[in-house]
Every structure is written in structure tokens, then in C-alpha cells.
Amino acid sequence: MQIGEFLAEDIGRGDLTTKACVEEDVSGMGKFLAKENLVVCGLAVAEAVFLHLDDDSPEIETI
């Protein structure tokens, strides 16, 4: 995949507010919680993007 090229185009030089307020070594966590049945697609692409941004393997769990 051309993830690096896509991110460079979308992110560019980065978000100025984020650069001013968040230190570079900060990590985060997110959770999507569905209250009803749904269909999700794109998790493989999301995982590839997170891996590109950080070598620590992201954990994507579906239940």
C-alpha cells in the first residue's frame, strides 16, 4: 500500500495545535462501542495506517 504517500498528502506538515499542545512521545488509545449491530469495514487498512505511524503493533480487537 502507499500509506506513506497518502498520509503525507493528507497531513502535510502536521496540525499546529496538536504540535503545540501534545508532546511527541505521547501515546493514545481509542475505542469504538456500538450499541446496535453493525457492519464495519476498513479495519485492515486502519491497522496498516497505525503500523505505519508507530512500529508498536496496534491491537485491533473485534468481538
Q: Report pLDDT digits (tens) over 29-46.
A: 878 788 999 898 988 888
| CB-CB contact of 40 with 62 (8 Å) | yes
pLDDT at position 1, please? 66
* pLDDT beneath 70: ranges in the chain: 1, 57
pLDDT at position 36, please? 93
Rounded Cα–Cα distance for residues 17 and 36 (Å): 35
Is residue 14 left, alpha or beta, with left meaning phi > 0 and alpha meaning psi from -120 to 50? left
pLDDT at position 23, please? 87
Residue spans of the domains in the chain: they are: 3-53
Angle at 57 (CA atoms; ends 18, 15), nearest 5 degrees: 15
Q: In Å, what is the CA distance from 29 to each residue of 8, 10, 12, 41, 59?
A: 22, 21, 23, 20, 10
pLDDT at position 27, please? 78
